[in-house]
């Protein structure tokens, strides 16, 4: 719900495959109780077809000699991701989509014990659940490259505006593994962590340049065009051959609430994808059903005093003690992808209009969606509790 207000202020002023066990989502989970379907392949370089071992009969980029265990099925090869068998589908048959000789195997997390101030961007990717990094000439899926940048992609040395955190405050825990990624227009630290801001404003990187089309205005709430303290994790990813989409979760916090709702100062978080998928807005895939960008004006801003979700998720974050503030709680964004394609995604946050009243976004639980026949569209919804 938008809250209109008129206010002014000056310079002195008072947010590789995941670990889900959900059917049809690449990641970990208990092995299925379904029976193994030999037609899905048994690993070890067999073809499961009559084509020559050196041929790529299904045109998926892999021959039998290269480990394709079913050269009749383009969704089964070493470049695919394992898909957990749906226990609620009696007709489902367990198969070995990635041709490693195992069926419905669990994928361990890779982000336990990461240091709060670790600025290796590959560890930033691991913190959100992307464990697999690819070499320069390596086939398959995973993280092709990673870097910390400004919102427009320019190089950045982010310092405390990035944090790999084992928790955020007293109640917010990682959605997968042992860490989550924090990006902030101030300091990505909660009130208990060393080097925390200690107040509602800690300027970091200074004036920046927003991507084309941003900051995005909300109807009836014209915003400023100036951005400050912008920081991003920029990733180049290659999708598994059998992927139809991907999803991730985020939780946006801002000191802009409630004083600066619907003003020129509303900080924003975007997940900008290139090439832009159908349904994105200037490449951004995270927004509400009315196309409002992620800020204090998004319809999902429901963690605050008097709001639907109360204040529990603010406890211990600093957003509960350094000023009045609010958050969205965990939201899930999904977007489509063509299996085997390489694409860029940039998770970016910034201060709008000035460098004051900071915002922080938490990002976690990136997962590939690979359920056969599934259709994925750009969408953001509250994560089921």
Q: What is the mean pLDDT of the chain?
A: 87
Percent pLDDT > 70 in the chain is 87
- Residues 284 and 157 grouped into a single domain: yes
Query: Cα–chain-centroid distance for residue 306?
Result: 29
- Domain-ending residue, one of 51, 83, 105: 105
Q: 49-58, 305-314, 326-335, 353-362: which has the minimum mean pLDDT?
A: 49-58
CA angle 39, 44, 47 (to 5 degrees): 45
Give the pLDDT score at 33. 33
**375: in domain:** yes
pLDDT at 11 over 70: no
Q: Global pTM? A: 0.88
Return the higher-pLDDT residue of 326 and 52. 326
What is the number of domains present in the chain?
2
Alpha carbons 326 and 30: distance in angstroms, whole number = 37
Each residue of 99-148: pLDDT tens digit?
A: 999 999 888 899 999 999 999 999 999 999 999 999 988 999 999 999 99
Give the pLDDT score at 40. 44
- pLDDT category, 385, cuts 50, 70, 90? confident
**358: in domain:** yes
**26: in domain:** no
- Residues 274 and 131 grouped into a single domain: yes
**53: in domain:** yes
Give the pLDDT score at 220. 86
- Residues 191 and 48 grouped into a single domain: no
Return the higher-pLDDT residue of 6 and 97. 97
**2: in domain:** no
- Domain-ending residue, one of 105, 135, 151: 105
Alpha carbons 290 and 189: distance in angstroms, whole number = 31
- Residues 91 and 220 grouped into a single domain: no
- Residues 39 and 146 grouped into a single domain: no
- Residues 304 and 329 grouped into a single domain: yes
- Residues 336 and 373 grouped into a single domain: yes
- Domain-ending residue, one of 50, 79, 105: 105
Each residue of 191-218: pLDDT tens digit?
A: 999 999 999 999 999 999 999 999 998 8
Each residue of 25-63: pLDDT tens digit?
A: 444 333 333 333 434 443 344 455 667 888 998 999 999
- Residues 127 and 75 grouped into a single domain: no
- Residues 138 and 89 grouped into a single domain: no
Each residue of 252-286: pLDDT tens digit?
A: 999 999 999 999 899 999 999 999 999 999 999 99
Per residue, the 3-state secondary structure of the chain, as one string, reads: CCCCCCCCCCCCCCCCCCCCCCCCECCCCCCCCCCECHHHCCCCCCCCCCCCCCCCCCCCCCCHHHCCCCCCCCCCCCCCCCCCCCCCCCCCCECCCCCCCCCCCCCCCCCCCCCCCCCCHHHHHHHCCCCCECCCCCCCCEEEEEEEECCCCCECCCHHHEEEECCECCCECCCCCCCEEEEECCCCCCCCCCCCCCCCCCCCCCEECCCCCCCCCECCECCCCCEEEEEEEEEEEECCCCCCEEEEEEEEEECCCCCCCCCCCCCEEEEEEECCCCCCECCECCECCCCCEECCCCCCCCECCCCCCCCHHHCCCCCCCCCCCEECCCEEEEEECCCCCEEEEEEEEEEECCCCCCEEEEEEEEEEECCCCCCCCCEEEECCC
- pLDDT category, 371, cuts 50, 70, 90? confident
**80: in domain:** yes
**221: in domain:** yes
Each residue of 166-182: pLDDT tens digit?
A: 999 999 999 999 999 99
- Residues 221 and 350 grouped into a single domain: yes
- Residues 98 and 232 grouped into a single domain: no
- Residues 129 and 45 grouped into a single domain: no
Q: Are 230 and 206 in contact (CB under 8 A)?
A: no
**14: in domain:** no
The residue range of the domain holding 229 is 113-385
pLDDT at 16 over 70: no
């Amino acid at each position: 719900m938008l809250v209109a207000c008129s206010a002014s202020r000056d310079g002195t002023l008072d947010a590789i495959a995941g670990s889900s066990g959900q059917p049809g989502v690449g990641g970990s989970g208990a092995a299925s109780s379904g029976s193994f379907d030999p037609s899905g392949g048994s690993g070890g370089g067999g073809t499961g077809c009559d084509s020559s071992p050196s041929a790529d009969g299904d045109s998926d980029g892999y021959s039998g000699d290269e480990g394709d265990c079913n050269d009749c099925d383009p969704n089964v090869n070493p470049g695919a991701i394992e898909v957990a068998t749906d226990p609620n589908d009696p007709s489902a048959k367990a198969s070995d989509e990635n041709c490693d000789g195992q069926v419905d195997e669990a994928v361990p997390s890779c982000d336990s014990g990461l240091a709060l101030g670790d600025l290796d961007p590959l560890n930033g990717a691991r913190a959100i659940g992307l464990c697999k990094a690819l070499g320069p000439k390596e086939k398959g899926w995973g993280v092709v490259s990673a870097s910390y940048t400004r919102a427009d992609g320019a190089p950045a040395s982010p310092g405390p505006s990035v944090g790999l955190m084992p928790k955020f405050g007293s109640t917010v825990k990682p959605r997968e593994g042992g860490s989550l990624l924090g990006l902030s227009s101030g300091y990505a630290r909660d009130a208990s962590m060393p080097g925390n801001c200690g107040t509602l404003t800690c300027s970091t990187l200074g004036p920046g340049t927003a991507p084309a089309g941003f900051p995005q205005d909300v109807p009836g709430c014209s915003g400023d065009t100036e951005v400050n303290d912008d920081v991003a994790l920029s990733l180049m990813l290659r999708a598994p051959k059998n992927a139809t989409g991907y999803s991730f979760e985020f939780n946006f916090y801002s000191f802009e609430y409630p004083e600066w709702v619907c003003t020129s100062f509303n900080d924003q978080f975007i997940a900008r994808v290139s090439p832009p998928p159908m349904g994105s807005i200037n490449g951004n895939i995270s927004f509400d059903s009315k196309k409002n960008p992620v800020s204090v004006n998004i319809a999902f801003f429901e963690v605050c005093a008097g709001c639907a979700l109360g204040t529990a998720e603010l406890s211990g974050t600093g957003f509960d003690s350094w000023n009045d503030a609010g958050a969205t709680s965990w939201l899930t964004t999904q977007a489509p992808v063509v299996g085997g394609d390489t694409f860029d995604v940039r998770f970016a946050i910034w201060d709008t209009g000035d460098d004051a009243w900071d915002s922080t976004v938490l990002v976690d639980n990136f997962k590939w969606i690979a359920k056969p026949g599934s259709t994925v569209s750009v969408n953001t919804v509250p994560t089921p509790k």
